[in-house]
Homo-oligomer: A and B are copies of this chain.
């Protein structure tokens, strides 16, 4: 049902926001068995809330991974109704702890779960590879007849005309959609604040951001209110929240997973194409998600997609995995705990005979930022400005930061072409950089023995203090190049291990600011923040980075800490 309190119906933006929150709370209130209305004392590290309130069985279910749940659901050893109900309850707590939910879909999800349980009982086989699995969904992804506002107050009241293509596929595969999650104003922050729902916080330390723009997903999956969620990424929006919240997140190469049915400004823009992808408590969860979608041959229905099957060949059966380490992008130096986490992993890998570790020398990542920041809003941000103006809602500081930065330009066709050429030239140069790691030449002149993956930070620090996530370079770099990226949990900020002081001479404003944050807050200020890393592959080598991470995890025993 369409929201009736909207800008179009004459409401103020404050009234619209209040009504959306009221709607959200109403959906939370009907989750059974009911949960305490408010939690008296929300600790900085919120996970214990769930432990204190949920039943042992609910905790056990919600702390299971996708691959833990799939076989039992497929055999009927556990009912989808029970699984969904447990995740619904934990999602309600996640909302109370971190403000990550826009609505839960309790009746619909339980009805769907019941249908699937009955289907299994009747047919003796699961409905699909994701039979009975609950999936949480960023609000960006359209659900038929539900609000689709792209984080703008002025767009509330518009309903998605149909389920997004990806949801249709997952539905056929047996999934259950049970929760929708927050996104920032205009969808272009690496945090998650909007005038509709306020600030989403990090479940491991509520003074920190969960990241964004899929920050609702990050917080929910980090809190274990979801084992599998859907995010989108055009500058880091899957990887930043996954990294900040200690979960796995994958941004596939564009054109591999269907993006039909998303809503944001910039429809028709093709200079920088967004990716959709999973956030999950396991790598296997990400992989099953992607493979299930690709197996449905989505390119037949969405012809902008590439008809690659999910490659099952083993890339590292008869060759070593060659990893290049990116310690620092040369623009903003990572804060010490990030480097510590990276060092830990690299040292373990160096001792392995099936892995080769080399250094990656970054190539003009500052220029890369100029190019992509210039291409995000080719109309100079006019569309976003108009969307904000519709409701007279205030510009949030991080909207200002990205939409009004010095590289944004109101392009003519001629300048757009020039900017596109700049992007292509940079892509070519980066490809040649990668080619230059070859150790031999193949029979047809192709480079061989190259670096397989780049291992590096997800951002210039762990989860930033709220309002301070400004340097996109560690993630947007790979959107500009359209390389796939996979984020995975490694460690946490530790007040003893991360206590030592380190000096650094700032290179620029952003670098200074980033280092100062660490100096000022120290390990205590970022206590318990997950430390994550990112694996990058060449364009379309999505399968390779998944296999590489499987090897890395196997060889190093990652992650080094637990998160629940």
Contact = CB atoms under 8 A, between A and B. Distances in A.
Interface of A: 128, 169, 172-173, 260, 266-271, 292, 295-297, 299-304, 306-308, 378-379, 382-383, 410-414, 416-421, 424, 427-428, 430-432, 434-435, 442, 444-447, 481-482, 539-541
A413 B444 contact: no
Contacts of A382: 413-414
Contacts of A412: 379
A539 B303 contact: yes
A414 B306 contact: no
Nearest to A443: B295
A384 B68 CA distance: 61
A292 B418 CA distance: 32
Contacts of A482: 303
Contacts of A420: 268-270
Contacts of A435: 300-301
Contacts of A444: 128, 172-173, 292, 295-297
A413 B379 contact: yes
A307 B421 contact: no
A9 to B, nearest CB: 27
Given A169-B445, A444-B172, A414 B297 contact: no
B418 A268 contact: yes
Contacts of A430: 303
Contacts of A297: 442, 444, 446-447
Given A128-B444, A297-B444, A308-B308, 14 more contacts: A268-B416, A268-B424, A270-B420, A295-B444, A296-B446, A300-B431, A301-B432, A303-B427, A303-B482, A304-B424, A307-B541, A378-B413, A379-B414, A411-B413
B539 A417 contact: no
A421 B447 CA distance: 38
B270 A421 contact: no
Given A420-B268, A435-B301, A383 B296 contact: no
Nearest to A295: B444
A547 B416 CA distance: 40
Given A295-B444, A300-B447, A540 B306 contact: yes
Contacts of A301: 428, 431-432, 435
Interface-central residue, A292, A304, A411, by most chain B CB under 10 Å: A304
